[in-house]
Structure 1
Amino acid sequence: MDRRFPEILAATFVVFFVALGLAPVSRQVWWAENIPVMAVFLYFAATSRRFRFSNLGYALMAVWLFLHTIGGHYTFANVPFGFVTDLFGFSRNHFDRLAHFTVGFYAFALAEYLWRRRLAHPVVIAVFAVTVIMAVACAYEIIEWWYAVAEGGEAGVEFLGSQGDVWDAQKDMLADTLGAFFAVGLFWLYRRQLPVDADAPAGLPR
């Protein structure tokens, strides 16, 4: 089971993705939201033979894939998330914040790759992983803004997903960053259990 976990996870996601690709709320928004999902999934599927991440690494990366697929089906502002909104008395649907938090989980995969390849000191790896996620978060908010302006209309508003919050972009980037800190914390606890690649250079502290 452990060795087949990535393949089982990938197959489960494909079924899930196809199912939620049927009759989305907005096909325009579905394409805009799921192009990154397809790109990320296909990249890791294509490179899995050259570098196989740990089961934890794949599980963490899969969380964003599943959540973003849900957001693409319903549009993020309209995902059925009312039970959480009501429970905490929120004034908006925070499903998008949850999805942004899981973007930060990719910091674990980045840190794992650098660690197993022995490319940097663990402290440098941790800092680098967080800053990369912060840069990606910033770039994605710029892309969202560009798309919303270029597309206009209802599709542009739904893709942006700000729900009237003027600080939406900044809060999304903060959620990404907090997710990265969480993932790097997991990496720090888990790193000694990760195998070092046989052809990696020696000498860096563990």
Structure 2
Amino acid sequence: MKTHIAPALRLTVALIILTAVVYPLVVAGIARLAPSSGAGEQVIVNGKVVGYARIGQTFTEDRYFNTRPSAVDYNAAGSAGSNKGPSNPDYLKAVQARIDTFLVHNPGVQKADIPAELVTASGSGLDPDLSPAGAKIQVRRIAKVRGIAVARLNQLVDEHTKEPLLGLFGPPTVNVLALNVALDALK
């Protein structure tokens, strides 16, 4: 028995040191080499930090593009999904409430045309991006509220659409914060 316990304890201690001490220090060291020293990419407008490029935040006013719902109310300290399955009654009620709210704020849009990302939370609850379709379905509402041509807003969405990495990995995305900052900059 001694021949098995001693090596197992040594291996456990070695793995604890490797995974709980060495690895986090290496990752933190690499993060220091990133822009902003790993503190996140701040979005600054007129000298004021308005958000972080890779962390979602809520936009609920009709004059802005709405972002994806969050199961954690955009709390970066508590990133998580809702963990409710598609047959959970509470989940279904929450999704239906989001659909109803979206339809009230976007008259003329049909329920079947709403991209799922606008009524379902992401796995992290902090997703800062929408698909181009998720942004474009909101264009008519924003055009009406702001008095901007629909064509100009569609062009703005196209300008802020980021293509997949190497044209292969992932879908095209639109960063909602960057899009709303550009929207405010329109004259």
TM over 0.5: no
Q: Which has the larger radius of gyration?
A: 2
Q: TM-score, normalised by structure 1?
A: 0.26
